[in-house]
Structure formats: C-alpha cells, structure tokens
Amino acid sequence: MSAAEEALRRVLAEVFLESLSALDPARLVAEALPPRPPEGARVRLFAAGKAAAAMAQGALSRWGDSIEGTLVVTVDGAPTDFRGLDLRSAPVVLRAAHPVPDERSVAAAHAALAQVDGLGPKDFVLALISGGSSALLVLPPPGLELEDERRVVRALLEGGAPIHDVNLVRRHLSRIKGGRLAAAAAPALVQTLALSDVVGGALHDIGSGPTVPDPTTAAEARAALARYAPAELAARLAPYLDDTTEQPFPTRTEAHLLAGPEDFARVAAAHLSAGGFSVRIDPPEGGDARDVVEKRLAQAAALAPGSAIVVACEPTLALPPVRGRGGRAGWVALAALKKLPPGVALLCGASDGTDGSSSAAGAVVSSGAAGDFDATRIDAALAGYDDAPIHRALGTAIDTGPTGQNLTDLHILARVFPEN
C-alpha cells in the first residue's frame, strides 16, 4: 500500500470521529432546551436508545435541579457518566439487549410506563429518543410473549427487511411503541427530542416512535410481515397487529428532530472540504448491500483526484442462520476492497461504534491494504459473513467502542490528491 493511500485512510477515519464529536448528543439536547422548564410543572425525564445517556446528560446539565425523576434505558456497553451535574435526584439507568430484545427489554418498558404515570395537566415529560429504542422497550399485546417478539425481529432482520418495515411491525405489536407511551403520560405535556438513525425516516420511525403519533396501519404491517417473515410466523402474528391505542392519542405533545443521517453526512463533508477535498454529498440511501458495493465501485472508478463522496447509507443484508462475526459496514468495505482503484479509499462506519457482531465501528479500506493477503480467505469471509477477523488481520477495522451516538452508517469515498 502506498504512503498516500495509507495517509488517506487515516484522514477518513479522523473525519468519521470528528463528525461524531461535532454532533455530540449532550450538546444538541442542551442547546434545544430553554433555560428553565415550564413554570410550576413536575418534570420527569425519560431517555431511551443508544444515545440515551448522552442525551440525558445534556438535559440534566440544563435542568438537573428541576427534574424530579430520570430514567435512562440504553444498550450494554454504552457509556454513562452523570458526574459533576447539579441533580435533584440520581438517574436510574437500565440496560437491555439489541437488536433482539430480552427480558430486560420488557422490564424497561414497564419502568418507562411507571415513569410517566400519575401526572397532571400542569406536568411535563421530556422524552429523549434515539435509535435502538425499539429493542430496548418491548411490551407485546396480550396473547403474545417475548419469544414471539424475538422471533419476528430475527426473521425480519435476517430476511433483509429495511428498518422502516422492521419498526412498522414492531409498532403494531406493542403496548408502548407507536405513541402509546405518550398516551400513558396524558394529560401531561410530552416533548420529544429525537436523534434519527433511519435513512429518510420520520419521527415515528425512530425507536418505533413511543411518544409520537403513528400514521401507519396494521394492514401495512401485515404486508411487511408477508414480505419478509416465514408464512407460519406471519399468520400467527397477524391477528395481534393493532391500529389503535387504548386511549386517544394526546394532543399535548411536541416533537423535534435534533439531527439525523443527513446532518452526519453534511458535517463529514465540511471536514473533508476544510482539508482541501472537492466533496459531493449524495442523498441518503438504503438497498441491498451487494448493490451498494457495486455502486461504490462505480463511483470510485469515476472519482477524480482530490475528490470525495459522502453518503449516509443503511444497506440491508440478508443473513443465514449460521454466520461468522461481522456487520453490514464491514461486509461492504471488505467486498469492495480488492476492486477499488489504486489511490482510492472507502470508509464504511457505523455511528454507534458497533457494526453488527464485529465489535468494531466498521472499516476503512483501499486496494493496497490487502497486500498479498490470501484472496480465498476474503472470499470465504464474505460468503460466511465473517468479515470482522479479516479486518482485524488487515488492520482496517475502525475501533471506537460504543460511541453513545446513533446516526446510521456513513460511507466516504476519496481519492488521493494529484501529485505536483
């Protein structure tokens, strides 16, 4: 690998990390809140998702002495640090599994409903929602069990369903998603601040929208089940898909999007531009990971020296029951690696720092990074969805650990600057 290629890979990794820092959830929340909460209101704080702890930290730094109770629900390994804050009461932090829920997800859902119980019309709930909440808060309708929820989530994810459809089904199989948590808080005012990890998604897509209205229907959820789930499972679950909550959706709700995939791409592009690159931001995209690889390679072939392309990308990757360690970002990077033109680097990074089961945030690759590495091992890893060990061996993995952020995946293509 040339020195220029190696330096370019380092630059892309730095841009990825700097862009995450620039969209710090704590700062975004603190800046979105007024100096004080509503006069005379009892204030309760609920935060859920991969960015829940950082978002809660921002709210507590602003209103800590006014919040009578704080519940944070996040994933295993996510950083939590509330030291140095002037707090009326210590936050309660719960953790649960992701992306397939566990018993802790049910306990967290009950805790969330208890958090908003017993409030009056003068009271205020601040809901901080980020990606990952869908798995962390699970409360199936009567007649279904947690294992039913686990089966359908596995079936949808392994079947390659886009996250819109996964969350569509989740909302209609839940007593907390699809605005039901806000309904439980009525008549209190509920304000939602959200960080989006869903490409092209609306507020009801983020964490399956526990505190916002759901415009989708049970018929749409049945159609999604029919597309991606085994027929037996779809038939079992169809009667439980519900269009309504137990009470009308409360009108005293507000919701605001703080940042999303488009912002992540925009900030990364600004960092690249500051470094002298000619940058193009492509619209956010999804689609099958194999098609995404071919698109990245076509873009790489046409990329001019000193140019870069940035795109927020959430591809789907259908998975077999038996597979190795890896994730969609690492898989795309590995599939593109050997076919990239000389002098071009590709970063595929998961903003949460956890790309599937890889224990990395993704990878940043170039054709030279493979060196004389055995190509048959790369082919076998791609076939077995076992990209993580190869990236470790090549030194192409992006190691961040859980970032406490979640703004979907980012792809950056760049070509080295022309020689003088």
Looking at residue 248, its pLDDT comes to 62
* Cα–Cα dist 136/181, whole Å: 14
Q: How open is the CA angle 205-195-23, to the nearest 5 degrees?
A: 150
Exposed, middle or buried by CB within 10 Å (0-12, 13-18, 19+), for 337? buried
Helix (H, G, I), strand (E, B) or coil at 294: helix
Alpha-carbon distance of 243 to 4, in angstroms, equals 56
Please, what is the Cα angle at 300 between 299 and 301, to 5 degrees? 90
Distance separating alpha carbons of residues 111 and 71, to the nearest angstrom: 8
Q: For residue 265, list its beta bridge partners.
A: none
Helix axes 103-115, 146-158, angle to 10 degrees: 110
- The runs of H, that is alpha helices, within 34-162 are 52-63, 103-115, 133-136, 146-158
Query: For 231-288, where are the alpha helices, taking DSSP H only?
Result: 231-237, 261-274
Predicted pLDDT at 245: 47
Burial class (CB in 10 A: 0-12, 13-18, 19+), 408: buried
DSSP-based helix, strand, coil % in the chain, nearest 5: 40, 20, 40
Domains of the chain as residue ranges with CATH: 3-20+262-415 (3.40.1480.10), 33-259 (3.40.50.10180)
The CA distance from 282 to 299, in Å, is 11
> For residues 397 and 376, what is the distance between their CA atoms, to the nearest angstrom?
19
327 backbone dihedrals φ, ψ, rounded to 5° = -155, 170
How is residue 249 written in tokens?
Answer: 């959706």
Provide the residue-wise pLDDT of the chain in tens; the chain has 420 residues: 688 999 999 999 999 999 999 999 999 999 999 999 998 899 999 999 999 999 999 999 999 999 999 999 999 988 898 988 888 889 999 999 999 999 999 999 999 999 999 999 999 999 999 999 999 999 999 999 999 999 999 999 888 888 999 999 999 999 999 999 999 999 999 999 999 998 887 999 999 999 999 999 999 999 999 999 999 999 999 999 876 544 566 778 999 999 999 999 999 999 999 999 999 999 999 899 999 999 999 999 999 999 999 999 989 888 888 889 999 999 999 999 989 999 999 999 999 999 999 999 999 999 988 888 888 999 999 999 999 999 999 999 999 999 999 999 999 999 999 874
CA-based nearest residue to 136, from 167, 182, 161, 90: 167
User: What is the pLDDT at residue 246?
Assistant: 47
Q: Any bridge partners for residue 344, and if so which? A: 415
Note whether 104 and 96 are within 8 A (CB): yes
Dist CA 100 CA 92 (whole Å): 23
What tokens appear for 319 in the block? 């998975």
Provide the whole-model pTM: 0.93
Q: Amino acid identity of 382? A: L
Place of tokens 């995946």: 409
CA distance 368 to 341: 9
How distant, in Å, are the alpha carbons of 6, 191, 232, 233 from that of 238?
A: 52, 32, 10, 9
Residue pair 216/174 in contact by the 8 Å Cβ criterion: no
